[in-house]
Amino acid sequence: MASLLSNTIPHFSPKPIKDSSKLNKPFFFQIKPIFFKPSKLNLFKIRADVGFESKTVKSVPGNSAATGTSSTSSDDKIREILRNRDYNEKFGFNMDIDSFAIPKGLSKETIRLISSLKEEPDWMLDFRLNAFERFLKLKEPKWSDNEYPIIDFQDICYYSAPKKKPTVNSLEEADPELIKYFDRLGIPLTERNRLANVAVDAVLDSVSIATTHRKTLEKAGVIFCSISEAIQKYPDLVRKYLGRVVPSEDNYYAALNSAVFSDGSFCYVPKDTKCPMQISTYFRINAMETGQFERTLIVADDRSFVEYLEGCTAPSYDRNQLHAAVVELYCAEGAEIKYSTVQNWYAGDEQGKGGIYNFVTKRGLCAGDRSKISWTQVETGSAITWKYPSVVLEGDDTVGEFYSVALTNNYQQADTGTKMIHKGKNTRSRIISKGISVGHSRNCYRGLVQVQSKADNARNSSQCDSMLIGDTAAANTYPYIQISLKHSGMGYLKNLPLGLSSP
């Protein structure tokens, strides 16, 4: 695995590390590692809202998990959690919604139709068409560990929405059947039942259904709405930041998303403002033959703070569906964004039939000095997961963090990780990744830490651990460090996979 540069953002490629001349420089062996103090709590909790019964499981320290009763106990606890997961009952249902869907197929006419249905300005249509031209010139990358059949992009519906058009002004005007639908999913949207301290944007298939706590956020000067509404009401902000962190030519699926994205969330936090509550988006796929291609754009202006949580589910269909999203985070001077994900798409049945293909591009840009971006993700769903939430540390004294727990079972595949790109001076990054593989599943961590030539005093700490349960699970780790600066602090600790099956 080597690195290719595109728009100054490194991309992974299939070239193995041993073939890269950049890794033969002797200063790699002179780097002094740095370590952060571990968390006091050696626990992680998997909650019922991601499809598990509420239980707490002790993580497995050191090598003790490989032998003795500790191994058997941990093995049994994890297997018990997996057995208690009841996805079909909680999230696997679908609803017969009177919807409008455009014909299957991907072409310029498809893109023009989507833009027309959304009544977009000309500049947005141009953005889409330019992205589609780039998509046609790109080739789907083949270097991932994931294995899946060729995707027929002409056999996907790119826009589906309830015929009763959602309102953006009042929850009371929203379709009560859709409100009940999200209530059943555990996402209350009505004024009476809504979550007290969380603003939620609910997205169904290709459109936003409702957004809660709008007035409270508006009083603080915070803009939180669907990106479709933002294009209409705040075009200058959207034009300024859309594609700035993830340009449409960045990669194959980012180009596809830029061409056909239908909805998603937009948030702007003004200068010197702390968002008064957590904001959240819940993504739901309902239609069987529809893909979901949301776009999320979060901008934190100077010295502002915002915390964001996204969740997602889909019905238990016996065919695969494509989810190809793009998330862009922009942090100005002294700003901070905390972005958390509970990824719970349908993973397919025990024989690996059905499930979501989750091919996502997520990236944050610490553009201003002393800014900070943190990614936290819990990955339990999807038949295939392929994403690398990343941070570009452009400003001086900026911080990037990535915390991940990925659990795969049955025939799930996950190729995920992160990239930390150090460009400014005194930048710091931290990576902690935990993977658990059960059944016939495959779990891959792929990480890149790049220190560019002007990133004086850059520091990084990385740790990834993999646990294997059973004789047929697999785990791979691909750490990659690329340094163009002779003086930096890089620390990497990799624990080999712990096999919990009997010898």
The DSSP code sequence of 119-173 is T--HHHHHHHHHHHHHHHH------SS---PPP-GGG-B--EEESSPPPSS-GGG
With pLDDT > 90 as the criterion, what percentage of the chain qualifies? 55
Instruction: Tell whether the torsion through CA atoms of 144, 150, 154 and 157 is positive or negative.
Output: negative
Q: What is the band of 28 on the pLDDT scale with cuts at 50, 70, 90?
A: very low
The per-residue pLDDT for 316 is 80
Which of 349, 450, 464 is CA-nearest to residue 393? Answer: 450
Q: Does 141 lie in the same domain as 26?
A: no
The per-residue pLDDT for 202 is 78
How is residue 110 annotated by DSSP? H
Q: What is the band of 94 on the pLDDT scale with cuts at 50, 70, 90?
A: low
The per-residue pLDDT for 49 is 39
The per-residue pLDDT for 468 is 93
How is residue 471 annotated by DSSP? S
144 belongs to a structural domain: yes
User: For residue 56, is pLDDT > 70?
Assistant: no
DSSP helix/strand/coil, 220: coil
How is residue 279 annotated by DSSP? E
214 belongs to a structural domain: yes
Q: Does 109 lie in the same domain as 222?
A: yes
User: For residue 386, is pLDDT > 70?
Assistant: yes
Which of 23, 33, 32 is CA-nearest to residue 482? Answer: 23
For the stretch 36-49, pLDDT in tens is 343 333 323 333 33
Which of 8, 27, 21, 24 is CA-nearest to residue 454? Answer: 8
The position carrying tokens 């056999």 is: 155
489 belongs to a structural domain: yes
166 belongs to a structural domain: yes
3 belongs to a structural domain: no
- Cα(96)–Cα(491) distance, integer angstroms: 53
Q: What is the band of 210 on the pLDDT scale with cuts at 50, 70, 90?
A: confident
314 belongs to a structural domain: no
Mean per-residue pLDDT of the chain: 80
User: At what angle are helices 108-117 and 122-137 packed, to 10 degrees?
Assistant: 150
Q: Does 102 lie in the same domain as 236?
A: yes
Q: Which residues contact 144 (CB under 8 A, 6 or more apart)?
A: 386, 415, 444
User: For residue 352, is pLDDT > 60?
Assistant: yes
Average pLDDT over residues 19-42: 32
- Within 10 angstroms of residue 422's Cβ, the number of other Cβ atoms is 31
The per-residue pLDDT for 349 is 86
pLDDT top residue among 156 and 10: 156
Please measure the distance between the N-terminal and C-terminal CA atoms of the chain and give it in whole angstroms. Answer: 32
Q: What is the band of 301 on the pLDDT scale with cuts at 50, 70, 90?
A: very high
Whether 492 and 462 have beta carbons less than 8 Å apart is answered as: yes
The per-residue pLDDT for 271 is 98
Task: Quote the number of domains for the chain.
Answer: 2
Q: Does 392 lie in the same domain as 338?
A: no
The position carrying tokens 């977009």 is: 120
Q: Does 117 lie in the same domain as 75?
A: no
The per-residue pLDDT for 393 is 98
The per-residue pLDDT for 117 is 94
Buried b (16+ CB within 10 A) or exposed e, 321-334: bbbbbbbbbbbbbb
Q: Does 290 lie in the same domain as 153?
A: yes
Q: Does 122 lie in the same domain as 63?
A: no
Range of the domain at 102: 92-305+322-349
Q: Identify the burial level of 336 via C-beta atoms within 10 angstroms of its C-beta, where 0-12 means exposed, 13-18 middle and 19 or more buried.
A: buried
User: For residue 14, is pLDDT > 60?
Assistant: no
375 belongs to a structural domain: no
pLDDT top residue among 28 and 470: 470
- Within 10 angstroms of residue 353's Cβ, the number of other Cβ atoms is 14
Q: Point out the domain boundary residue: 297, 331, 349.
A: 349
Residue 44 tokens, joined:
């992680």
The per-residue pLDDT for 8 is 46
Q: What is the band of 110 on the pLDDT scale with cuts at 50, 70, 90?
A: very high
Least confident of 130-139, 240-249, 478-487: 478-487
Average pLDDT over residues 310-337: 92
- Cα(146)–Cα(360) distance, integer angstroms: 14
Whether 320 and 292 have beta carbons less than 8 Å apart is answered as: no
6 belongs to a structural domain: no
Q: Does 194 lie in the same domain as 113?
A: yes
φ and ψ at residue 109, rounded to 5 degrees: -65, -35
